[in-house]
Each structure stands twice: as structure tokens, then as C-alpha cells.
């Protein structure tokens, strides 16, 4: 890997202020990309991250944006394109959980998860396609899915449905835009050490660990580096694929 392999490139990462999104934002910036990211509530964290990115010698943009709102997503992409000139990479990372058994699940719990996780990916992908199509070398879209969308998880009918939908969306979109030199792939993540994972009770955590062949949770840096590979020139012949960084959990 050249140190600045993404120099001159521009990326959008949704949900970029924490956990996996933040790790991807920083890794892209370290590799020379200008990076824009949105946040839902954490304005202070967003400003700190923006300042950190700028110390790496690249441009940064941060703005509050509801990914589930079609007009807001389109406006965000428009602002990024005006600031950076184009968009080369989109990482649809924004996601929420509202876990509970379906008999206890409220309609709002279903709608909120599907709107953020799946409709958000639709909104941003649609908005970036026109600027990406103008690039001589196309671009790349990467959807952050989950093994919940591959095998289903107890108490996650809404989340599993949203991530399974994202996987189907990845494959269909990859076929639609391959002729424009735009690749579309997904990461179906297993359990990654994030704030969400740290909130698991000890008993459940041990149970999950016992089912992971590699015997540990993944870390956000591993996800970020895998993401950057799929965005890189080395992966230009990979599209419509779902890669599972899950330690073997869902094989």
C-alpha cells in the first residue's frame, strides 16, 4: 500500500463520528482522501474528528444530516461535491438497532431501523451516482451490512431485515452501474469491539465468543483496512460481493 494511495480522491462516510465509521474516516484520511461525514446528534465529536482529519493534510467536512431523509441526503452530497469537486467513494455505514422480540416490537422500532439502515443507503447511493458517473475512473460504494442479514439474529427481525435488504441492494446496484466503472460491495460484519458491543452482558458475550472460531471479537481498525482494500485500485475487479469479517462466525 502506498502511504497516500487515495490522494486526490474524495469520500463520504455516513455515521462517521463513532466506532466503525470513525475508524474508516480516519483510515481514508491517513491514505490521502478528503473525507466528508454526517452525524445525527454528536456535534462536538464531529468537530473534534474534523479537526483531527485536517491535521493529516486533507480536507474534511462534517454536517448534521438525517440519512433517512431523501432531501437532506441529496443536499449533503451536493455540498460535498461543491467542496471537493467530486465523490469517488461512498461508505454507507450509518445504522441503528432497536432490538426486541417481534411480539414486543413497536411499529416505530421497525420503521426507524429500516429507514436509517436501508433507506439511508438508498438515499445516499442514488445521490452520489451522477457525480460518480462523471469520474473517468468511476467510483466505489461500500455498504456496511452485518451477518445478521446473512443468518438472522434472535430479537433482531428489524435489524436483520434491514441488513439483508442492504445485501440484496448491493448485488442489484452492482449490476446496474458496473458499465459506469462503479463497484458496489458490502461488508457483512460479525461482532466488532465498539461501544455497542461493550454494552453486552458478560454471559451473552461469552456465549457469542464460544461460537466464533477465531475466539475473539474483531476490531474497528481491521474493518477500516478491509474497507479501504475494497475501495482501492486493487479491488477494481470485485463488485457485487459480500465479504464477511466475522472471525468465522457465520460460515
- pLDDT tens for each residue of 9-26: 999 999 999 999 999 999
At the second CATH level, the architecture of 10-243 is 3-Layer(aba) Sandwich (3.40)
Output the pLDDT for position 26.
Answer: 98
Residue 2 has pLDDT above 60, yes or no: no
Residue 1 has pLDDT above 60, yes or no: no
Length of the chain: 251
Candidate from 48-52, 196-200, 244-248 with smallest mean pLDDT: 196-200
Average pLDDT over residues 106-111: 98
| Domain residue ranges in the chain | 10-243
- pLDDT tens for each residue of 188-240: 999 999 877 777 778 888 888 999 999 999 999 999 999 999 999 999 999 99
226 in Cβ contact with 245 (< 8 Å): yes
Average pLDDT over residues 78-100: 97
Output the pLDDT for position 109.
Answer: 97
Neighbours of 44 (CB within 10 A): 10
Residue 122 has pLDDT above 70, yes or no: yes
Going by pLDDT thresholds of 50, 70 and 90, the confidence category of residue 82 is very high
Nearest in space to 192 (alpha carbons), one of 37, 39, 23, 38? 23
Average pLDDT over residues 66-92: 98
Give bridge partners of residue 35 from the DSSP assignment: 11, 60
pTM of the shown model = 0.96
| Three state DSSP letters for the chain | CCCCCCCCCEEEECCCCCHHHHHHHHHHHHCCCEEEEEECCCHHHHHHHHHHHHCCCCCEEEEECCCCCHHHHHHHHHHHHHHHCCCCEEEECCCCCCCCCCCCCCHHHHHHHHHHHHHHHHHHHHHHHHHHHCCCCCEEEEEEEECHHHHCCCCCHHHHHHHHHHHHHHHHHHHHHHHHCEEEEEEEECCECCHHHHCCCHHHHHHHHHHCCCCCCECHHHHHHHHHHHHCHHHCCCCCCEECCCCCCCC
Output the pLDDT for position 251.
Answer: 86
Residue 165 has pLDDT above 90, yes or no: yes
Q: Could you give the count of Cα atoms lying within 13 Å of 106 in the half-sphere of its Cβ?
A: 5
Output the pLDDT for position 69.
Answer: 97
Average pLDDT over residues 138-152: 97
Is residue 237 among the annotated active site residues? no
Of all residues in the chain, what percent carry a pLDDT higher than 70? 99
Which residue among the candidates 39, 159, 204, 237 is catalytic per the annotation? Answer: 159
92 in Cβ contact with 142 (< 8 Å): yes
Amino acid at each position: 500500500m502506498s502511504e497516500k494511495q487515495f490522494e486526490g480522491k474524495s469520500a463520504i462516510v455516513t455515521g462517521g463520528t463513532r466506532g466503525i465509521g470513525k475508524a474508516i474516516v480516519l483510515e481514508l484520511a491517513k491514505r490521502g482522501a478528503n473525507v466528508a461525514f454526517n452525524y445525527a446528534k454528536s456535534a462536538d465529536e464531529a468537530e473534534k474528528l474534523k479537526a483531527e482529519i485536517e491535521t493529516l493534510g486533507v480536507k474534511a467536512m462534517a454536517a448534521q444530516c438525517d440519512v433517512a431523509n431523501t432531501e437532506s441526503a441529496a443536499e449533503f452530497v451536493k455540498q460535498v461535491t461543491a467542496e471537493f469537486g467530486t465523490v469517488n467513494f461512498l461508505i454507507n455505514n450509518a445504522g441503528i438497532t432497536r432490538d426486541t422480540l417481534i411480539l414486543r416490537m413497536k411499529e416505530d422500532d421497525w420503521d426507524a431501523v429500516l429507514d436509517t439502515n436501508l433507506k439511508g443507503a438508498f438515499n445516499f447511493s442514488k445521490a452520489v451516482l451522477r457525480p460518480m458517473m462523471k469520474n473517468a475512473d468511476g467510483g466505489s460504494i461500500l455498504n456496511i451490512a452485518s451477518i445478521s442479514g446473512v443468518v438472522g439474529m434472535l430479537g433482531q427481525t428489524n435489524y436483520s431485515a434491514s441488513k439483508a435488504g442492504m445485501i440484496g441492494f448491493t448485488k442489484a446496484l452492482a449490476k446496474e452501474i458496473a458499465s459506469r466503472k462503479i463497484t458496489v460491495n458490502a461488508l457483512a460484519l460479525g461482532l466488532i469491539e465498539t461501544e455497542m458491543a461493550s454494552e453486552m452482558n458478560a454471559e451473552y458475550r461469552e456465549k457469542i465468543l464460544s461460537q466464533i472460531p477465531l475466539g475473539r471479537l474483531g476490531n474497528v481498525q481491521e474493518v477500516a483496512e478491509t474497507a479501504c482494500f475494497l475501495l482501492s485500485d486493487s479491488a477494481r475487479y470485485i463488485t457485487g460481493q459480500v465479504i464477511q469479517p466475522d472471525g468465522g462466525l457465520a460460515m
